[in-house]
Amino acid sequence: MAIKYTWKIKEINIAPELEVDGIDMINVVRSVVYEYTGQKGSGDSKKTFTYPNISYLPTPDNDNFISLHDLKESDVREWLKSIEPIDSMKEIIIKNIEEQEKPTHVPTALPWDK
């Protein structure tokens, strides 16, 4: 079964005022706290792993600036997709889900603590 990936934007952090190329910008998004989650299966066999992260955004220019008032979640997801190492994040998620499916590191009691 394939892994389904989802984004969850947890928080955005802004610069209340920022001067860029002599232009004053207001409420500029500077970083995004998010989770990228992979899920495989459903019910009792469902396996998930969440990759939490914070992404620092490049300074916008006048041509690509979106005001906070006009910002949509889909805009933020597109920003993240353009700058985050999604293939590496998926690789980490896949390895963690595989570990859940077939554990190779299972805690056990210490033999001398009997």
Give Cβ neighbours of residue 45 (< 8 Å, ≥ 6 apart): none
> Does residue 48 register a pLDDT over 80?
yes
Choice among 24-38, 60-74, 75-89 with the minimum mean pLDDT: 60-74
Mean pLDDT of all residues in 80-102: 96
* Residue boundaries of the structural domains of the chain: 4-101
Contact (CB, 8 A) for 38 and 97:
yes
- Which of the four pLDDT bands, split at 50, 70 and 90, describes residue 1? confident
Query: Hunting for tokens 């005022």 — which residue is that?
Result: 17
Structure tokens at 48: 């998930």
Q: What is the mean pLDDT of residues 98-102?
A: 95
Minimal CA–CA distance to 59: which of 15, 94, 100, 92? 15
